Structures are given as C-alpha cells and as structure tokens.
C-alpha cells in the first residue's frame, strides 16, 4: 500500500492526478488535498481543465485566483480560466511590441494571438508558474496538487513545451513571428517550460497518480498515457482503481455481473502495471463538500467504514419526491431523417468518460440499420471507436465490417496537420507566392496550433461530402470540443483584421472563411444538425454539460437531444446501496429534463461493457426502438 506523498523539508512536492474523464479523478485529487491540509501541510490544488469541477466538489466559488477553501485550514484552490490566462499572457508578450510598432501593427498581432492555440499556451504558462516558482504565487506551499484535464488532452499539454521550444527556435531563425507571439518576446518562456518539464521528471519531487476504472478502455488509456509520459522522461507513477462494486452488493444480479467483470480487470491491472496501487469502492452517492471528502479519506487511507446510507441521499427539493418509481419521461426527439435534401449531422458532446463514444456508435449503427448511409467520425485524441465497435478504425474512411451502410474514421490530428500543411503550401505556390512568403507560411504551419485547426478542417472536408445521409461525430471532452467549435469563429476574426503579414493570403483566407461559415451555419440549423449531450445522472457531469450548452448557445447552437447513461433500472434497486444511488439518479434525471428542455433518452446500467455490433444493435433498439427501414428515427 502506498501512503500519500510526503513533502520534504526543503522543497514543494507536486502531485498530478490524471486519467480518463469520468473516473473520479477530481474527487480523488480533492480528497488527497483535504488529507494533506488536515495533516498540517500548506496545500494548493490547481486545475488546468477547461471544464473544471473543483468548485462543484468543494461547494464554493473558486475561479482564477488562489482561494482559501472553507472549513479546511491550510487548503487553497485555483481554477485556471483560459480566457483570463490568455489575456494575461498576451499583455505580457505584447509589452515590448507596443513600444516598438505602430498601433495598427500591434492590433493585428494581438488578433493573431487571440486563437485557441494561444489559450492553450497561456493556460500552460500559468500552470508552469506553480512548478517554476510556487513561493511567488501567493505564498510557499508544501504540496501543490494538479487536477489535470482528461488524459488525451493532458498528454498534449505536457508535450507542448518541446513543441513550443521548436516553434520559437524556428521563428527566431526566420520571420521572428509565431502563432503564440513574437519570438523575441517569449524566449524567457522557453526556459521556464524547460524548467517545468525538468521538475516533472524529478521523481523525488513529483508524482503522477492515475485514476482508472476496472474496465478495458480505462486500462488501455492508462497504459497509453504512462507510455507517453515515460517517453518524456517521467517515471514516478501510482494507480487508484476507483468505482469497485462493494462485495455485499453482489446479491443483486446486475451488480454481481458487473463485479465479475471488474474482477477480471482488477487481475489485469495487477498483472500489467508494476506500480503502487490502491482501490476505492463505489459509494452510495456523490462526494461533495469538506465533510464527505474527509469521510471518504478515512475509507481510502485508514480503512474506515462507509457512511450510513441516509447520509448519501440526494437532496430532494421541498414538495418534490422523485424517489418513488416515476413514470418514464415522455419525449418527442427531432426527426433525424434527412430533410429537404440535407443530411443529418449528429454531434455527441459531454464530460469525458460519460459514454459519448458508446452513444455515438449505438446511434450510428442504429441509423445504418435503418438504411441510412452513415459516417462515424471522431477527433478525440484518445479515440475509442474501434474498441466499442470491436473492429479496427483507421485514419481514413473505411466500411465497418459486418455492418452495411456504416463507415468510420478517427481523425488523427498529427496526420491531418501534415495533409493540411501540404495543401496550404501547394495552394500558395499555385497562386504564385514568393519563396520568402512560402518560408514564412511553412514556419507558421509548424506551430502547435496547426494540429487542432487541421483536425477540424478534415472534419469539414468529410461533412461537406454529398453522399452521406447521416454524419455522426463522436467529439472530444467538453472543453476541447468547445475550442474546436470556436476555431472557425476565431479564424474569421483574425482574417478580418489581417492587414500585416509577409504573406498575401487574402484569397485563401476568403475560401477558408466561406467553408467554415457554411459549417457553422449547418451546426446551428436544427433541420440539419442535432447537438446531443451525454451525461451520467450526477451533479458534476450534468453541470459540465450545462455549461457547455450555455456556451454553445452564444454561437447559435442549441441542445437537440440529451442521452443519460448508466441509469440503474428501477427493478434492480433492491438493496439500500442501490436504492440510494437510484434516488440520486432520479433527482438528477428530473433536473436534467428541466435544465436542458430537450428530448431525453436513457441508457441503462448494463451487466458489462458495451462492445461489438450485436450489443450496439440491441442497445440501439432498446433506446430508440425498432423502426422499419426508411422511417423517421423518432416520431414528431
């Protein structure tokens, strides 16, 4: 058994919590933070997740500042806000530029730094402040805990220092410009990022804790993440296997089947990972507030007993009792049959780990079986389409074996970036651009932001093809998805003010602007697109999806469907434990229906993992119903 990391007397210790979304990473990070603080260690917990949940877990406002946590002396928290971090970063980078260049040049450079790439750079820049000089960020801390974003995003974040260094060096030798600011203005940042990565590699000072569920995809992603971090020279790992079915609950056939499945994967974790491990049982309800975090800490660290079930009951609004067996929520989802010559594009969004890929695959298989020619895509860096379909899915569109009318592809950002770069440079040469201009474009296209732009560009390319009846888009976790969807808007802003550049790319910009504008219009048209939010019936995923929906509304996109996953069937709630979790779920089902005001469907908690076409077909029929080929997906 591994005890919590103990800080030395002379240096701050850093603990990173990572793992696939939805595995309880934030809860485990907060529980550790409370334990360290209660032991008298001055502790800071920081999140770089664009869709942070620290405030939800601690039940208080936190935000983009170091904030004391109520009822936990010695504990402080901060949620790095990407927008504020970006503005702070731009302001620092532009100080020497404002003094040396005319206002119109400064305005263009600021616009060029307003895109999603800079936001990611800026968040990491703020994040590295705590690694580089924690004593200068508020006051000295004994322990700094980083509650990181879901694994795929985290790995890209940790890879960025090397990419930025390369981008800075290339730009310094060429035009002096980068997408993240003037090279001369950010040379100091390069050294800070190198020092931060050196700290992460120092096992005596830094530890990475991976939280995972005993499930195939979670194990696979943990292995992939550890391998990627090892390539960066990071070696100090610890595992928390979370969400294990309590032994006494195996009297329920549903939980007994899930416990049997988990047992196989627990053996696999023991066999394949030679790192310290600790297990955590599934609890009767959510972990929120300092009191519950302390009590869970006693269970985790000290082998204490669970709380009484009454203590875990979800709060019920006065006059409303959703614990009785409710009638199914009635709904009339939109017609997904192509109308007026338009295809139907269905986007699946939500907190990482809530089952977006399962929902997307289930829907794509269902549509294909109704006779619609369907394309299933993902730009998620940690794509699992092939795992759920139980058939290989590559970077190019190919038919899904044994399922007529279904094609699938995972858009690899790195491969997409190479194709995108080649296309842009070829176009520039055909337009007669000078070799000096081509060199500048080449430098800019080698920047870290190109991958994200290229992945979205590849999606647009597929979505614009005429021969699909339906395109199902399994998106990345919520924060990443929102930045992806905002890309064309950010580009349009930059195009409108691009009066300073060594490359006259106005014609190419106009083409890109028109293409992106057409797709944005399609996304906001309910006759063509359905935005579907997937969530568990729990507070954190519900609130995260709600925030994402609110942000999408600012660009004219509204929720068209809600999929609630892992719902315990009422007939399976036969023990106090199951009844407590079912009561919590019923409360949130009602709140989800009220908040989103959109059609709602439920995916039940199943005895095992969803995998393969046979299971996806049965699940689709259970959720959507059996519909004859050519009929509308839903009645209106």
Segments in the chain below pLDDT 50: 1-4, 7-10, 135, 138, 150, 175-177, 180, 185, 315-334, 477, 479-480, 489-508, 628-636
Eight-class DSSP state of 166: H
Q: Which residues of 334-371 are buried (b: 16+ CB within 10 A; e: fewer)?
A: bbbbbeeeebbbbbbbbbbbbbbbbbbbbbbbbbbbbe
Structure tokens at 616: 């996806």
Eight-class DSSP state of 359: H
CATH of domain 13-89+115-160+197-303: 3.40.50.300
Compute CA distances 205 → 15, 77, 199, 559, whole Å.
Answer: 9, 20, 7, 45
Do the beta carbons of residue 603 and residue 564 sit within 8 Å? yes
pLDDT in tens, 145-203: 998 754 555 555 555 555 555 555 555 555 444 554 555 545 566 677 778 788 888 99
pTM above 0.85, yes or no: no
Residue at token pair 């059609």 = 599
pLDDT score, position 292: 93
State the CATH architecture for 344-624.
3-Layer(aba) Sandwich (3.40)
Which residues, at least 6 apart from 585, have a Cβ–Cβ distance to it below 8 Å? Answer: 537, 538, 567, 568
Structure tokens at 15: 């603990």
Residue at token pair 């089902």 = 589
Q: Which of 221, 244, 302, 235 is nearest to 275 (CA)?
A: 235
**Residues spanned by CATH 3.40.50.300 within the chain?**
13-89+115-160+197-303, 344-624
Structure tokens at 50: 């664009």
Can you tell me the distance from the alpha carbon of 569 to that of 255, in angstroms, rounded to the nearest whole number? 11
pLDDT in tens, 356-400: 999 999 999 999 998 899 999 987 766 688 889 999 998 889 999
Residue at token pair 């702070």 = 88
């Amino acid at each position: 058994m591994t005890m919590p990391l103990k800080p030395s007397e002379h240096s701050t210790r850093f603990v990173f919590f990572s793992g696939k979304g939805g595995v309880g990473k934030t809860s485990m990070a907060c529980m550790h933070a409370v334990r360290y603080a209660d032991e008298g260690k001055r502790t800071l917990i920081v999140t770089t997740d664009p869709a942070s949940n620290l405030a939800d877990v601690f039940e208080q406002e936190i935000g983009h500042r170091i904030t004391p946590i109520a009822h936990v002396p010695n504990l402080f928290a901060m949620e790095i806000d990407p927008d504020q971090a970006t503005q702070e970063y731009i302001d620092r980078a532009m100080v020497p530029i404002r003094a040396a260049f005319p206002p119109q040049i400064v305005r263009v450079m600021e616009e060029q730094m307003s895109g999603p790439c800079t936001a990611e750079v800026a968040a990491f820049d703020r994040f590295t402040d705590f690694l580089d000089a924690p004593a200068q960020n508020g006051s000295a801390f004994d322990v700094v805990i980083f509650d990181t974003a879901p694994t795929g995003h985290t790995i890209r974040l940790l890879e960025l220092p090397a990419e930025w260094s390369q981008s800075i060096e290339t730009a310094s030798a060429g035009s002096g410009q980068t997408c993240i600011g003037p090279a001369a203005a950010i040379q100091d940042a390069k050294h800070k990022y190198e020092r931060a990565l050196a700290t992460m590699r120092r096992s005596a000072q830094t530890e990475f804790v991976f939280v995972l569920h005993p499930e195939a995809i979670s194990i696979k992603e943990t292995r992939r993440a550890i391998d990627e971090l090892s390539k960066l020279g990071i070696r100090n790992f610890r595992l928390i296997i979370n969400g294990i079915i309590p032994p006494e609950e195996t009297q329920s056939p549903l939980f007994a089947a899930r416990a049997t499945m988990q047992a196989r994967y627990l053996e696999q974790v023991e066999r394949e990972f030679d790192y310290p491990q600790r297990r955590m049982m599934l609890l009767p309800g959510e972990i929120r507030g300092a009191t519950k975090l302390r009590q869970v800490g006693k269970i985790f660290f000290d082998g204490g007993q669970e709380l009484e079930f009454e203590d875990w009951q979800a709060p019920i609004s006065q006059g409303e009792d959703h614990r009785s067996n409710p009638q199914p929520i009635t709904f009339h989802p939109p017609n997904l049959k192509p109308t007026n010559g338009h295809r139907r594009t269905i986007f699946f969004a939500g907190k990482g780990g809530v089952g977006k890929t399962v929902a997307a695959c289930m829907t794509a298989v269902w549509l294909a079986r109704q006779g619609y020619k369907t394309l299933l895509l993902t730009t998620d860096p940690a794509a699992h389409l092939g795992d759920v379909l139980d058939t290989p899915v590559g970077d190019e569109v190919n038919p899904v074996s044994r399922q007529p009318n279904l094609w699938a592809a995972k858009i690899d950002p790195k491969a997409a970036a190479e194709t995108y770069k080649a296309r842009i440079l070829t176009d520039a040469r055909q337009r007669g651009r000078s070799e000096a201009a081509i060199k500048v474009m080449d430098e800019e296209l080698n920047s870290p932001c190109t991958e994200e732009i290229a992945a979205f560009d590849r999606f647009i390319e597929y979505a614009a093809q005429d021969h699909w009846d339906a395109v199902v888009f399994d998106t990345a976790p919520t924060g990443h998805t929102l930045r992806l969807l905002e890309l064309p808007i950010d580009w349009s802003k930059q195009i409108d003010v691009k009066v300073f550049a060594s490359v006259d790319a106005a014609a190419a910009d106009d083409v890109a602007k028109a293409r992106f504008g057409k797709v944005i219009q399609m996304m906001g048209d309910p006759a063509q697109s359905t935005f579907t939010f997937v969530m568990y019936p729990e507070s954190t995923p519900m609130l995260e999806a709600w925030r994402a929906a609110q942000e999408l509304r600012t660009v004219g996109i509204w929720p068209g469907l809600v999929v609630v996953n892992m719902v315990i069937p009422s007939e399976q709630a036969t023990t106090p434990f199951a009844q407590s979790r079912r009561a919590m779920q019923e409360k949130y089902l009602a709140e989800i229906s009220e908040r989103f005001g959109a059609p709602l469907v439920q995916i039940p908690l199943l005895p095992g993992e969803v995998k393969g076409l046979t299971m996806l077909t049965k699940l689709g029929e259970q959720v959507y119903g059996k519909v004859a080929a050519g009929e509308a997906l839903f009645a209106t």
